[in-house]
Amino acid sequence: MTVTLTRAKLVPEFLVADLGLSLRFWVGLIGFRVAYDRPEAGFAYLDLDGAQVMLDERSPASRQWLTGPLETPLGRGINVQIEVAAVEPVLARLEEAGWPLFMAVEDAWYRAGRVEVGQRQFLVQDPDGYLLRLGARLGERRAEVRKP
């Protein structure tokens, strides 16, 4: 079977402790699909409507680019924003699984030039502690420009 995939121009690769556990989270709860994988190498390339990530199981025998010691939670200082059509189905799956949220769902508006862009968003950590911000678009509205 040939996989047709338009590759994103920026794809983060996350080192994970247990690929199976990570796939249960990323695929089963968040809603990604496995575009392709190399199970013998502990690797999976995931896609969710064009949002793409790579998962690579940590292994001393593999060639992995480590810049320092890996201590959980991993990915400190970064959150990965993932646009979804609606947050409610993802929230329902997380709640059913008893998976805790890092930040509850909220409607947020961010100024982008002369408009504000809205999204319904929440934050959750994956099994290794990577912080994901899932958001669904609420639209745009005219921005209130504040003078300093």
How many domains does the structure of the chain reveal? 1
> Is position 117 within any domain?
yes
pLDDT score for 144: 80
pLDDT score for 5: 87
Distances (CA, A) of 103 to 93, 124, 125, 133, 145: 16, 7, 10, 9, 28
Sheet containing strand 43-48, edge to edge, reads: 13-16, 51-57, 43-48, 33-38
> Is position 4 within any domain?
no
What is the C-alpha separation between 50 and 83, in angstroms, rounded?
9
What is the C-alpha separation between 122 and 127, in angstroms, rounded?
17
Per-residue pLDDT of the chain (148 residues; tens, 9 = 90+): 455 789 999 999 999 999 999 999 999 999 999 999 999 999 999 999 999 999 999 887 777 777 778 888 998 889 999 999 999 999 999 999 999 999 999 999 999 999 999 999 999 999 999 999 999 999 999 988 776 7
> Is position 67 within any domain?
no
* Residue 24, helix vs strand vs coil: helix
Question: What CATH number corresponds to the domain at position 31?
Answer: 3.10.180.10
> Is position 148 within any domain?
no
> Is position 2 within any domain?
no
> Is position 40 within any domain?
yes
> Is position 125 within any domain?
yes
pLDDT score for 1: 47
Query: Which residue type, as a one-letter code, is found at position 18?
Result: D
Query: Among residues 25, 11, 5, 17, which one has the least CA distance to residue 42?
Result: 17
Domain containing residue 79: 13-59+73-142
pLDDT score for 60: 72
What is the C-alpha separation between 95 and 92, in angstroms, rounded?
5
What is the C-alpha separation between 91 and 141, in angstroms, rounded?
26
What is the C-alpha separation between 18 and 16, in angstroms, rounded?
6
> Is position 109 within any domain?
yes
Side-chain half-sphere of 47: how many Cα atoms within 13 Å? Answer: 13
pLDDT score for 66: 74
